[in-house]
């Protein structure tokens, strides 16, 4: 028994020191190389500060809407739902989101709504939507702001982010950046 306990104790001590000290300091050091030293990307517009990497809750018709949030866009409580795609409560919630979207976006069919506009991300704080998710909202935003739809399509194109290194991830658009650019028009 002594043969098994001593290696287990040594491994436990090693892991405690490594993962709570060495590994943590290594990750902190790497974060210092990132923009804003790993504290997130903050932008300021009209005297307000915004975190680009955390979703914001836009609900007014004159703004592009982000993905729904399972945590009501509270960055202190990141989290998703553990309800599966066949859960009746989850299906009811998604249907409610679809109905709300269709009400606010007349002329759009349910089949045209990208899934990212009616389903929350795993963290509930995903700041990005698909290009299709932005384009399907153009008519509503253009009507609310009395803008030409082509202006908004150009704005979407200008704010489109390509995958990292051209292959890692998907083409996406940061809703906050898009809405801040929209306010500058």
Residues 120/82, Cβ–Cβ less than 8 Å:
no
pLDDT digits (tens, 9 = 90+) for 111-134: 999 999 998 887 778 889 999 999
150/61 Cα distance (integer angstroms)? 18
Helix residue ranges, H only, the chain:
2-17, 23-31, 88-104, 131-135, 138-145, 149-158, 175-184
pLDDT digits (tens, 9 = 90+) for 132-171: 999 999 999 999 999 999 999 999 999 998 887 877 888 8
Three-state secondary-structure class, residue 173: strand
List Cα–Cα distances, 126 to 9, 10, 74, 151, 164, in angstroms.
41, 41, 11, 25, 17
- Backbone torsions φ then ψ of 17, nearest 5 degrees: -70, -45
Residues 64/159, Cβ–Cβ less than 8 Å:
no
Indicate whether 82 pLDDT > 70: yes
pLDDT of residue 35: 67
Give me the percent of the chain exceeding a pLDDT of 90. 48
Query: What is the distance in angstroms between the CA of the first residue and the CA of the last residue of the chain?
Result: 74
Give me the percent of the chain exceeding a pLDDT of 70. 98
């Amino acid at each position: 028994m002594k043969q098994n306990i001593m290696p287990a104790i040594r491994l436990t001590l090693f892991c405690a020191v490594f993962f709570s000290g060495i590994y943590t300091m290594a990750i902190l050091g790497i974060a210092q190389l990132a923009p804003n030293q790993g504290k997130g990307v903050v932008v300021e517009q009209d005297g307000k500060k915004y975190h680009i990497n955390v979703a914001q809750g836009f609900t007014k018709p004159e703004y592009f809407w982000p993905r729904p949030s399972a945590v009501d866009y509270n960055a202190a409580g990141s989290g998703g739902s553990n309800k599966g795609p066949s859960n009746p409560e989850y299906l009811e919630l998604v249907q409610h989101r679809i109905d709300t979207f269709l009400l606010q976006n007349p002329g759009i069919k349910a089949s045209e709504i990208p899934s990212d506009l009616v389903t929350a991300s795993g963290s509930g704080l995903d700041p990005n939507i698909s290009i299709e998710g932005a384009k399907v909202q153009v008519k509503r935003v253009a009507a609310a702001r009395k803008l030409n739809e082509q202006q908004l399509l150009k704005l979407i194109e200008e704010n489109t982010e390509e995958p990292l290194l051209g292959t890692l991830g998907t083409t996406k658009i940061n809703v906050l950046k898009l809405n801040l650019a929209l306010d500058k028009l």
